[in-house]
Chains A and B, each alone.
Chain A
């Protein structure tokens, strides 16, 4: 036993390498922050609609059924990248998708939706970004899953990919539908 003690530093180094290696190769974003609001009720908010629309979005619109809340902006390139994924989620998975339009010029947002399609049941315009701050948003896009009791169950910072939808969002929606 004592004679093998000299191997200890090597073993420790190997453990460290494996630990760092798995983290590096896992593909997870090291800058992604966990949300402080998981399992908490949505903060109260009430956002006006984009001009010419009648919807708007308020915290009272949630509840009854699980919903997906997407924070997007027309100036955000990653939002365009994830747009087909969001659209498919709303169309194929039958989950109501609503949105907060973050710090956008209304005319730009409307033109963006016209150009790229509008998968959202309701859109609230968060012109000064304060509602987003209440939600702990630190960059667009971000996507939340709200359960039927109106609690935040999941938050993904950054663009949604089909892989994340399969691995994280679909299983959660299946669980919430029970």
Chain B
């Protein structure tokens, strides 16, 4: 192996290394497929105590309890949606790090796009108005006068 491919493999290994989160070894499920689902769900749920961390990342006691509940529900045979529903029934949509599309969150989802469209429309209108405001071409009388003035300047 050349040094180049060694480096490539090393870099690839680093990118693939998943962050471990705050999970303790005894919390993990024996079934790797179930554990993977638990991780994915936990990463989407906000810890109500630390508020900027997912329950997967947070060391708070409550986050640990919620991680345990997620794994319990999965083991009991819940679907991913049912597990998330179990948590939101208690803590509300606030715990979803990816807010759902609802009447109340329309502004959140489409506000930026609406603003962008509004800005584009405003700029187009402005540009069009400015184009219209360009001075009309000189009339023939004005043309003659201009020519005369220019002549006067160059003649002496």
Q: Residues on A close to B: CB < 8 A? A: 31, 33-37, 103, 128-130, 133-136, 138-139
B124 interfacial by beta-carbon distance below 8 Å: no
User: Which residues of B are found within 8 Å of A128, using beta-carbon distances?
Assistant: 65
B49 interfacial by beta-carbon distance below 8 Å: yes
B residues 31-69 near A (Cβ < 8 Å) are 48-49, 51, 61-62, 65-66, 69
**For the complex, what is the distance from the CA of A133 to the CA of B91, rounded to whole Å?**
8
Known: A31-B51, A33-B48, A139-B49. A134 touches B94 (CB 8 A): no
Known: A31-B51, A138-B49, A139-B49. A37 touches B90 (CB 8 A): yes
User: Which residues of B are found within 8 Å of A129, using beta-carbon distances?
Assistant: 61-62, 65
User: Which residues of B are found within 8 Å of A34, using beta-carbon distances?
Assistant: 92, 94
Known: A31-B51, A33-B48. A136 touches B65 (CB 8 A): no
User: Which residues of A are found within 8 Å of B61, using beta-carbon distances?
Assistant: 103, 129
- Contact status B91-A136, CB under 8 Å: yes
Known: A129-B65, A133-B66. A36 touches B90 (CB 8 A): yes
B79 interfacial by beta-carbon distance below 8 Å: no
- Contact status B92-A134, CB under 8 Å: no
User: In whole Å, how far is A158's beta carbon from the nearest beta carbon of chain B?
Assistant: 12
User: Which residues of A are found within 8 Å of B51, using beta-carbon distances?
Assistant: 31
Known: A31-B51, A33-B48. A136 touches B92 (CB 8 A): yes
**For the complex, what is the distance from the CA of A34 to the CA of B95, rounded to whole Å?**
11
Q: B64-103 CB contact bits vs A (8 Å, 1 = yes)? A: 0110010000000000000000001111111000000000
